[in-house]
Amino acid sequence: VAADADLDKAAALIVKGAFGLSGQACTGTSRVIAVGEVHDDLLARVVARTEALTVGPGEQPGVDLGPLASAAQRDKFLDYVRIGLDEGAVLHTGGTAVGDAGYFVRPAVFSGTHPGMRIATEEVFGPLVAFARAGSLGEAIEIANATDYGLAAAIVTENLGTAARFVRESRSGLVKVNQPTTGMAMNAPFGGYKASSTQTFKEQAGPNMMDFYLLEKTVYLTP
């Protein structure tokens, strides 16, 4: 999140990207790197939006987050919450199981993280987001790239030059500008850099998807 970002828009995009599908998305937002003075204000807005979310069965009206997929996934999420606390990160909200039945949890928001922490470098595959502070756009990009993975990344900014720099320097196969990290066009290539995918051809979508929507006509012509 750049220093010039609209923080209400940024907070909405973060919550959607981090907690949609109960955080069970390979492109889910798991880290937020805030540049300069926006960090504290942005964190407060994300925490407020997170605490306003309703957790429960998806068929009930007004529910924002359903359950995790299994008991094992719930336990993994709770383990990562404990790991984050043990590593010295600050838990601002959530990180607990909800009720005695089902695999429901309250989404967790951490701050004070850095690339040496597991919650900032490993995939939880659950509703957990980790905030980090950067002094400049360049430092933010360095932190964003400081993992073994590179599937999805996004920037929130009002400056086209800032967006263009992030797109150019991000080591990620899917880059969003002022959009959540989740969601993609099914007729566009989808694959990652580094340990995400093979870095070569894309495992989903791309040109092969376009063929599905085309009618072929074969013509034989003798001049």
Domain extents in the chain: 7-184
The pLDDT score that the predictor gives to residue 219 is: 65
Under a CB-based contact definition with an 8 Å cutoff, are residues 29 and 11 in contact? no
Q: Which residues face 108 on adjacent strands?
A: 128
The pLDDT score that the predictor gives to residue 9 is: 97
What fold does the segment set 7-184 form as a domain? Answer: Aldehyde Dehydrogenase; Chain A, domain 2 (3.40.309)
> Which position among 6, 7, 16, 26 bears the catalytic label?
26
- pLDDT tens, position by position, 56-83: 999 999 999 999 999 999 999 999 999 9
The whole-angstrom separation of Cα 215 and Cα 196 is 33
Mean pLDDT of all residues in 88-104: 95
Active site residue 26: yes
The whole-angstrom separation of Cα 79 and Cα 75 is 6
Q: Which of 14, 81, 85 is nearest to 53 (CA)?
A: 14
